[in-house]
Amino acid sequence: MADQGRPRFAFFDGQIVPFEQATVSVLTHSFNYGTGVFGGLRGYWNDDEEQLYVFRPLDHFERLIQSASLMRIRIPYSAAELNEILNNLLRTEGFRQNCYIRPLAYKSTEMIGVRLHDVADALTMFAMPFGSYIVNEDGAHVCFSAWRRVDDNAIPARGKIVGAYANSALIKSDAVLSGYDEALVLNQEGHVTEASAANIFVVRRGVVYTPPPQADVLEGIVRRALITLMRDDLGLEVVERDIDRTEIYVADEVFLCGTGVQVAAITRVEHRPIGSGVMGPITESARNLFFRVVQGRVAQYRDWLSPVYETEQMPE
Ligand code: PMP
């Protein structure tokens, strides 16, 4: 993974502490059983305005609270309070560059015993400088994973559950170690779900398709944002429906989206080129618009961004 710095601070045990002090025991429940939930947000540095903008933090924190409730983890803060904690953390770090933010709520009791009840909960948050997440963002080469996506009746994919990322790790490493950049993964019914940690869009004859929330996908914040941007700004028809594996083979364009990957074109699946084999025009427009939005350069979507630093008020 490229361009990754190290956090200097963490929110831990209710306060901001030097990162080295934010440690847990090997007996910690979540470390042993995957009983945690997490989020991943990005902060974008806008040099002209000298401002750090976090992309849709309230949506991320609401999803974190929802994931936590699936796992009987109580987060003692509202989404707005979590955003305050985040702002304090980022101001303490003093970032003047793009960064990645990781909130993590977890079962913290030091004990042996698989269960969710009668185990204490904890919350931590940290952030680090961060660049791109996958190589070949302009034209990724993917395969179909031999793994299946976690099922809603096994570990719900709509929760961002620590243990479920063993599934993502299997998917990702088997793809990368076989020479691909990423993998697409099918659900138990054989429909396309997403990549190891990103949602998918497929373009056919000018219409954009993406799997619906009930197809065992994470309900991605970037996915939701792109649906709005493509419909309202690019004037495209966007349809949420099941996608067959072979629709990828005959698609004109395919792209991934998510906080980590941002918007990344897929131009080859195994030995088949997708469309013309290079990034297509809809992917490119969506990507350009997305990057302008997250940097605060599109007035209409400024309210998707939360500024971290206080700005001086102009005198009346
Ligand atoms: N799917 C999975 C499995 C993920 O881990 C992520 C990254 N959080 C996404 C999709 C994209 O979600 P988001 O746009 O909220 O980052």
Asked whether 199 lines ligand 1 (CB < 6 A), one says yes
Q: Which of 187, 218, 257 to mutate to test the pocket of ligand 1 (most atoms within 8 A of CB)?
A: 218
Compute the distance between CA of residue 41 and CA of residue 258 in angstroms, rounded to an integer: 10
Q: Which of 199, 227, 255 to mutate to test the pocket of ligand 1 (most atoms within 8 A of CB)?
A: 199
Q: Give burial (CB, 10 Å; 0-12/13-18/19+) of 48.
A: exposed
Q: In whole angstroms, how far apart are CA 168 and each of 218, 247, 307?
A: 12, 22, 32
Pure H helices in 78-196: 79-93, 165-176
Asked whether 223 lines ligand 1 (CB < 6 A), one says yes
pLDDT of residue 310: 87
Residue 142 and residue 181 in contact, taking contact as beta carbons nearer than 8 Å: yes
pTM for this model (two decimals): 0.96
Asked whether 220 lines ligand 1 (CB < 6 A), one says yes
In angstroms, what is the span from residue 18 Cα to ligand 1's centroid? 28
In angstroms, what is the span from residue 313 Cα to ligand 1's centroid? 36
Query: Which residues of the chain form CATH 3.30.470.10?
Result: 9-129
Picking from 132, 120, 52, the residue whose alpha carbon sits closest to that of residue 88 is: 52
What CATH number belongs to 9-129? 3.30.470.10
In angstroms, what is the span from residue 123 Cα to ligand 1's centroid? 20
The amino acid present at 197, given as its one-letter code, is: A
Q: Give burial (CB, 10 Å; 0-12/13-18/19+) of 121.
A: buried
pLDDT of residue 36: 98
**DSSP of 178-238:** TT-SEEEEE-TTSBEEEESS-EEEEEETTEEEE--GGGT----HHHHHHHHIIIIIS---E
What CATH number belongs to 140-299? 3.20.10.10
Asked whether 259 lines ligand 1 (CB < 6 A), one says yes
Q: Give burial (CB, 10 Å; 0-12/13-18/19+) of 170.
A: middle
Which DSSP letter does residue 294 get? H
User: pLDDT tens across 115-170, in order?
Assistant: 999 999 999 999 999 976 555 778 999 999 999 999 999 999 999 999 999 999 99
Q: Which of 41, 134, 259, 261 to mutate to test the pocket of ligand 1 (most atoms within 8 A of CB)?
A: 259
Query: Which residues of the chain form CATH 3.20.10.10?
Result: 140-299
pLDDT of residue 131: 76
Which DSSP letter does residue 156 get? -
Q: Which of the residues in the chain have pLDDT under 70?
A: 1-3, 132-135, 312-316
